[in-house]
């Protein structure tokens, strides 16, 4: 229950910040263009708090926190006194109206740059993208990648850490090839490798992009020594203790932690004889893993213990931290990568290269907000930047109910030299609303299937 409340709180905080940023973009430019703003609202429905500013604008915090709006003086909506007609949105020049509408998404992009700027000022720890293992006969192996190589760039995008690698690789869904550069162990020379993606199959819901290409990132060795035990878990019930070293399970010698994982997962509610080394003595215990049902109906066992992992070598650790000016450049570059990646994903969603089941809704966003808030301010800011970019791009889609739809009407007006008729706009709003409702319904359905 506490986890749900934490996720909800983090989600509302993130949503409130991003809505305020988006609507403030419209508000700020509208005021600069001489348009009178009647109301600036965060949320819809019944106001929980309101205040009228010196300029006459009413600032409102409403009950339903799933959006916001800026209500401007507009003769198309209600009658405007003659002395205020020059302050009405519809009476402004085309470029001013376009600037006001475009300012919302632009504010989201600028906020992403600001958030990443703060992240890079504080510094974010990461590890170099060094390949631990390349699966035989995989796409990566056929391209000539090998164990120990460090990935330097993908399609011209520098990859300083695994997050950058994942983002760059995901952007190639539906493409025929991927070009990357890497450095082999013990050398300083970059080599170019081309991955053939014509037979690449990737389901983001079930698979990791690296695994489907045959790449396993380097990670420190996992020992067979128990370092964590879950209270009231099956491991404690069996008598396992911290610092026990697992030697065998049901008479089979254990040399790798994955053997332990496989044995526990495949024996829900079935007794296993585990032999451990404790204070230089062999101790035999009986472990009966608990049962756990997965989303697809599969039942697996789990025991509630974790192994000791060797520390990362210092040579693999990096901290992405920069001075105030260099951080601006890095933040702008990171935001641009997110913008291009999101545009690519939207395009591939339309063309069918990305399945509609990969759409995410508010539940997934809430879970992401809660998880990143757990990790600290730096990660939460990175999450805000990611969602801010997505919000900006979604609002630029050419659906009449969104900012992109208004800009489409303005573009038509620029070409035809006359505004799009209200009848056509009304039809467009109805169609756009229907499409948006369908997409939201699909996103929510996808969210529920992931629970």
Contacts of 420 (CB under 8 A, 6+ apart): 409, 412, 413
Catalytic residue from among 23, 58, 188, 326: 23
Q: How far apart are CA 75 and CA 91, in angstroms?
A: 8
Contacts of 85 (CB under 8 A, 6+ apart): 75, 91
Q: How far apart are CA 113 and CA 107, in angstroms?
A: 10
Contacts of 197 (CB under 8 A, 6+ apart): 139, 172, 175, 176, 177, 178
Q: How far apart are CA 38 and CA 36, in angstroms?
A: 6
Q: How far apart are CA 301 and CA 99, in angstroms?
A: 57
- Tokens 């996992």 -> residue: 222
Rg of the chain, C-alpha, whole Å: 27
Q: How far apart are CA 182 and CA 134, in angstroms?
A: 14
**Three-class SS state of 288:** coil
**Three-class SS state of 180:** strand
Contacts of 187 (CB under 8 A, 6+ apart): none
CB atoms within 10 A of CB 66: 12
Count of helices and strands (H, E) across the chain: 12, 18
Could you tell me if 257 and 264 are in contact, meaning their C-beta atoms sit under 8 angstroms apart? no
Q: Specify whether 207 is catalytic.
A: no
Which run of H or E residues covers position 229?
Answer: strand 222-229
Which tokens belong to 160?
């300083």
- Tokens 């879950």 -> residue: 230
Contacts of 95 (CB under 8 A, 6+ apart): none
DSSP E strands: which ranges in 73-210? 124-127, 131-134, 150-154, 157-158, 177-183, 190-196
Which residues participate in catalysis according to the annotation?
23
């Amino acid at each position: 229950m506490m986890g749900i409340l934490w996720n909800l709180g983090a989600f509302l905080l993130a949503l409130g910040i991003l809505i305020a940023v988006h609507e403030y973009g419209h508000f700020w430019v509208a005021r600069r263009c001489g348009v009178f703003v009647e109301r600036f609202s965060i949320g819809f429905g019944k106001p929980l708090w309101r205040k009228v500013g010196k300029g006459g604008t009413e600032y409102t915090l409403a009950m339903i926190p799933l959006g916001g709006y800026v209500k401007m003086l507009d003769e198309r909506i209600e009658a405007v006194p003659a002395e205020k007609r020059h302050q009405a949105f519809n009476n402004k020049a085309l470029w001013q109206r376009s600037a006001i509408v475009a300012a919302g998404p632009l504010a989201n992009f600028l906020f992403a740059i600001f958030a990443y700027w703060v992240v890079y000022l504080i510094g974010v720890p990461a590890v170099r993208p060094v390949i631990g293992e390349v699966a035989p006969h995989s796409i990566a192996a056929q391209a000539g990648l090998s164990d120990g190589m460090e990935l330097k760039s993908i399609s011209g995008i520098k990859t300083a850490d695994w997050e950058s690698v994942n983002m760059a690789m995901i952007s190639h869904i539906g493409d025929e090839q991927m070009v990357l550069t890497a450095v082999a162990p013990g050398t300083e020379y970059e080599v170019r490798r081309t991955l053939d993606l014509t037979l690449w199959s990737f389901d983001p819901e079930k698979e990791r992009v690296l695994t489907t290409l045959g790449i396993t990132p380097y990670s420190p060795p996992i020992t067979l020594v128990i370092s964590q035990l879950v209270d009231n878990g099956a491991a404690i019930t069996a008598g396992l203790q911290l610092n026990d070293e697992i030697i065998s399970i049901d008479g089979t010698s254990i040399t790798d932690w994955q053997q332990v994982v496989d044995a526990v997962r495949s024996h829900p509610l079935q007794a296993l004889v585990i032999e451990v080394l404790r204070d230089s003595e062999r101790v035999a215990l009986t472990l009966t893993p608990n049962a756990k049902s997965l989303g697809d109906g599969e039942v697996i066992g789990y025991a509630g213990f974790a192994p000791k992992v060797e520390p990362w070598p210092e040579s693999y650790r990096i901290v992405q931290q920069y001075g105030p000016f260099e951080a601006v450049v890095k933040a702008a570059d990171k935001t641009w990568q997110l913008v291009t990646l999101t545009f690519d994903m939207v395009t591939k969603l339309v063309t069918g290269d990305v399945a509609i089941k990969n759409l995410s809704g508010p539940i997934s966003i809430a879970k992401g907000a809660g998880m990143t808030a757990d990790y600290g301010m730096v990660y939460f800011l990175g999450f805000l930047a990611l969602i801010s970019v997505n919000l900006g791009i979604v609002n630029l889609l050419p659906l009449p109910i969104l900012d992109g739809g208004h800009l489409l009407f303005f573009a038509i007006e620029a070409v035809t030299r006359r505004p799009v008729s209200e009848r056509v706009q009304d039809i467009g709003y109805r169609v756009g609303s229907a499409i948006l409702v369908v997409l939201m319904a699909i996103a929510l359905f996808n969210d529920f299937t992931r629970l």
